[in-house]
Amino acid sequence: MHKYIVKRLLWMIPIILGAAVLVFTLMYFCPGDPAEIILGAGASDAEMEHLRISLGLNDPFLIRLGRFLKDTFIRFDLGRSWITNLSIADSIAERLPRTMLLAIAIMLLSVVIGIPLGVVAATHQNRWQDNLCMALALLGVSVPSFWLAMLLVILFSIKLNLLPPMGIGGLQYYILPALAGCTGGIAALARQTRSSMLDVIRSDYITTARSKGVSEQKVIIRHALKNALIPIITIIGTQFGRLLGGTMILETIFGIPGLGSYIVTAVNNRDYPVVMIGSIVLAAMFSLCMLGVDLVYAAVDPRIKAQYAKKR
Amino acid sequence: MTESNVLLEIKDLSVEYLSDGKTVHAVNGVDLCLKRGRTLGLVGETGAGKTSICRSILRILPDVGAEITSGEILMEGKDLLHLKEEEMQKIRGKNISMIFQDPMTALNPVERVGDQIAEVIELHQEQGNHEDAVRRAKEMLEIVGIPGERYYDYPHQFSGGMKQRVVIAIALACSPQLLLADEPTTALDVTIQAQVLDLIEDLQKQYETSMLLVTHDMGVVAQVCDEVAVIYAGTIVEYGTKEQIFDHPSHPYTIGLFGAIPSMSEDEMWLHPIDGMPPDPTDLPAGCPFSPRCPYASEACRKDRIQPAVTPDGHMCRCIRIEQSKKGEH
């Protein structure tokens, strides 16, 4: 099992390197002159040429790529923003925890609400409880988070004056963004839980459990849900990975300086070093998420654990 | 036959399924009687309603679309169909337990096999804690011929025959009065079949358990059963002791079943199957369900439901020819 984890961690090296090469190449072909972006439209030709030479922008593609990879992965120098001239490493270290906190809060809400909804729907298949849960799930995917965010702000901040409308500070600043952002996750988890529970509930071993005199509640939770977890975990993992880079709408509305808004701002400003490093960090986080998912699989299902141990 | 000798009595049991808006008549007015310590074989083709009867006794029919439309299932005089769900849970696994057809899917793949045995023990033990249940579960493993240290293994580490042993261990862990064995050997290969059957028989004698054995294998019936009920399209067509059924099969369907077994002594070229297919359970014939395939069928067979004819020594047959021949004797 340990060998499997080490192997998976080693596999992350080519994945991240590949992401770096891809992102760098895409940025290389992007239109726009970096010197003009940095100095602004008013700079003279001589100033711009001077900057191009000092940044090495006139060098061939391969040399620039090599220099980028060396700086990033060997010297661990992530560079500075072209626009603000702040260290990218510092900015990410400052912003990542906020995005993580928001993503974790959203995921927790999705799991705590979505999975029970799916279980209720599956155990009451085709009855009103099922229809209600699935209607809620449909509502969940359909509600735009920015709209819900504004309604929540009006209700909880302006009318009831309970929670801060925006900004960062204590945990209370994350409650409204998490509520606004969790509907999609709830819907996805409710639907997935329902369908995989329906598969499992018809299995023979569920009948075996019933024939042993196990109470219905225990049959559902201990025997059925545990077997239905694998696809549910997959959804949780991918949703979480996506949230790390995809919370920028919420970050913008609620004024949270997180990773999502950082990268989107950088794209808008053609702040290429920030875009590249940001994308690589997201790729790394996502592959860590997937490793986490695979390890949880092994914890849940002994057959998968046995496979891992065999492959090593 | 005194009343106290009867463990389980099924009266006029009917089960229906609703599927695609059609009503499937799976079990149609079945009467069965099982005495203490005896084994009743329930023989019939796939889809004849055997499994539905077993599941009705435990009340574990699929919850969507299945319904027991009439009948009583009396266990020591108590009607199981009128018990509360909580009372039924106390009976399942303790007084009545079941061995399933397919051992490959009958065990929970993500639980240790030992824990699956210990679960039923812990649910029903009057005293003792989890450790006692674990100890007893290891004993049960040894009893069915699996080393106790394999308690901590998962089902995927077991072969089919060993899984069925585990299923048997679960079923017998609380020494039930009644064991429902739903084709326990069908999914196993022949050598393992014999071992598993021997094991079930030994344990049944040891625990003085009554057994309802569902099978379509006449060989299994001959080896294990005391009484036999032949079921066709949800109706018991013939019922009697093993000797009565084997020596004097009366219903044309039973006769056809025996005819379909290849003879080892004669040099036969062809098997003798029963022509035709079982009737569509959503659209059963009004009269005898076997009449469309029966070589002796007459107009009277197709008209009304056939009443059972019982000989003085308890051999029941639901066939118009038997009634007529009896009338002829008078």
Strand B227-232 to strand B39-43: parallel, antiparallel, or no bridges (unpaired)?
parallel
Report CB contact under 8 Å: A202, B62.
yes
Residue range A136-158: average pLDDT? 90
Kindly report which listed range (A246-250, B57-61, B79-83) carries the lowest average pLDDT score: A246-250
Chain A nearest-CA distance from B3, in A, is 27
Say how far residue B25 (Cα) sits from the centre of its chain. Answer: 18
Judged by CB atoms within 8 Å, which residues 40-79 of B form the interface with A? Answer: 55, 58, 60, 62, 64
Report CB contact under 8 Å: B154, A303.
yes
B230 strand-pairing partners? B43, B238
- Between these two residues, B327 and B57, which has the higher pLDDT value? B57
Q: Is A213 on the interface with B (CB under 8 A)?
A: yes
Tell me which residue of B311, B305, B300 sits closest to B233, measured CA to CA. Answer: B305
Q: If you write DSSP's letter for every residue of B273-298 in order, what string do you get?
A: PPSS-PPPTTS--SS-TTGGG-TT--
Q: What are the tokens at A164?
A: 């801060």
Q: What are the tokens at B255?
A: 């006769």
Chain B nearest-CA distance from A207, in A, is 7
Instruction: Tell me how far apart the alpha carbons of residues B119 and A213 are, in angstroms, rounded to a whole number.
Output: 10
* Res A312 pLDDT > 60: no
In what helix (H) or strand (E) does residue B40 lie, and over which residues does it extend? strand B39-43
In what helix (H) or strand (E) does residue B14 lie, and over which residues does it extend? strand B6-19
* Res B330 pLDDT > 50: no
In what helix (H) or strand (E) does residue B237 lie, and over which residues does it extend? strand B235-241
* Res A26 pLDDT > 80: yes
- pLDDT tens-place string over residues B88-142: 999 998 999 999 888 889 999 999 999 999 999 999 988 888 899 999 999 999 9
Q: Which residues of A touch B110 (CB under 8 A)?
A: 226-227, 300-303
Q: Is B163 on the interface with A (CB under 8 A)?
A: no
Q: Is A217 on the interface with B (CB under 8 A)?
A: no
Instruction: Tell me how far apart the alpha carbons of residues A284 and A241 are, in angstroms, rounded to a whole number.
Output: 10
Q: Supply the mean pLDDT for chain A.
A: 88
- Which range of A113-117, B193-197, B303-307 scores highest in mean pLDDT? It is A113-117
* Res B61 pLDDT > 90: no
Task: Tell me the count of A-B CB pairs closer than 8 A.
Answer: 80
Q: Name the amino acid, one letter, at B54.
A: C
What pLDDT, on a 0 to 100 scale, did the predictor assign at position B325? 61
Cα dist from B50 to A99, B6, B32, B46, whole Å: 59, 21, 12, 8
pLDDT interval class at B1 (50, 70, 90):
very low
Which of A201, A203, A208 to substitute to test the interface with B, most B CBs within 10 Å? A208
Backbone angles phi, psi at B287, to 5 degrees: -90, -135
Chain B nearest-CA distance from A156, in A, is 43
**Contact criterion met (CB below 8 Å) for B194 and B125:** no
Q: If you write DSSP's letter for every residue of B95-121 in order, what string do you get?
A: TEEEE-S-HHHHS-TTS-HHHHHHHHH
What pLDDT, on a 0 to 100 scale, did the predictor assign at position B323? 64
Say how far residue B73 (Cα) sits from the centre of its chain. Answer: 14
* Domains delineated in chain A: 91-311 (1.10.3720.10)
Which of A202, A210, A212 to substitute to test the interface with B, most B CBs within 10 Å? A212
What pLDDT, on a 0 to 100 scale, did the predictor assign at position B329? 43
**Ramachandran class of B20: left when φ > 0, alpha when ψ lies in -120 to 50, beta otherwise:** left
- Between these two residues, B272 and B179, which has the higher pLDDT value? B179
Segments in chain B forming alpha helices (H): 50-58, 85-91, 103-106, 113-124, 130-143, 160-172, 190-207, 218-224, 242-247, 252-259, 299-303, 320-329
Q: What are the tokens at B36?
A: 């203490």
pLDDT interval class at A311 (50, 70, 90):
low
In what helix (H) or strand (E) does residue A8 lie, and over which residues does it extend? helix A2-29
Tell me which residue of B278, B204, B249 sits closest to B40, measured CA to CA. Answer: B204
* Res A307 pLDDT > 60: yes
- pLDDT tens-place string over residues B200-233: 888 888 888 899 999 888 888 888 899 999 998 8
Contacts of B133 (CB under 8 A, 6+ apart): B118, B119, B121, B122, B125
pLDDT interval class at B311 (50, 70, 90):
confident
What pLDDT, on a 0 to 100 scale, did the predictor assign at position B324? 63
What pLDDT, on a 0 to 100 scale, did the predictor assign at position B328? 46
Nearest to A212 among B64, B92, B157 (CB): B92
State the Rg of chain A over Cα: 24
Q: What are the tokens at B215?
A: 């099978």
* Res B303 pLDDT > 90: no
* Res B326 pLDDT > 60: no
- pLDDT tens-place string over residues B135-188: 999 999 998 889 989 999 999 999 888 898 899 899 988 889 999 998 888 877
Please state the ipTM of this predicted complex. Answer: 0.84
* Domain B3-110+154-329 CATH superfamily: P-loop containing nucleotide triphosphate hydrolases (3.40.50.300)
Residue range A249-274: average pLDDT? 87
Cα dist from B228 to A217, A293, B33, B53, B58, whole Å: 38, 54, 11, 15, 21
Q: In the Cβ-directed half-sphere of A201, how many Cα atoms lie within 13 Å?
A: 24
Q: Helix, strand or coil for residue B327?
A: helix
What pLDDT, on a 0 to 100 scale, did the predictor assign at position B20? 80
What pLDDT, on a 0 to 100 scale, did the predictor assign at position B262? 76
Question: What is the pTM for the complete model shown?
Answer: 0.81
- Of all residues in chain A, what percent carry a pLDDT higher than 70? 99
**Contact criterion met (CB below 8 Å) for B267 and B305:** no
- pLDDT tens-place string over residues A150-207: 999 999 888 998 888 888 888 888 889 999 989 999 999 999 999 999 999 988 899 9
In what helix (H) or strand (E) does residue A208 lie, and over which residues does it extend? helix A204-211
Instruction: Tell me how far apart the alpha carbons of residues B303 and B291 are, in angstroms, rounded to a whole number.
Output: 10
Angle formed by the axes of helices A259-268 and A226-246, to 10°? 40
Which of B110, B158, B174, B179 to substitute to test the interface with A, most A CBs within 10 Å? B110
Instruction: Tell me how far apart the alpha carbons of residues A9 and A116 are, in angstroms, rounded to a whole number.
Output: 33
Q: What are the tokens at A97?
A: 């925890």
- Of all residues in chain B, what percent carry a pLDDT higher than 70? 96
Q: What angle do CA A46, A47, A50 make, to 5 degrees?
A: 85
B251 strand-pairing partners? none
Report CB contact under 8 Å: B89, A306.
no
Kindly report which listed range (A22-31, A254-263, B4-13, B297-306) carries the lowest average pLDDT score: B297-306
Q: What are the tokens at A213?
A: 């005199």
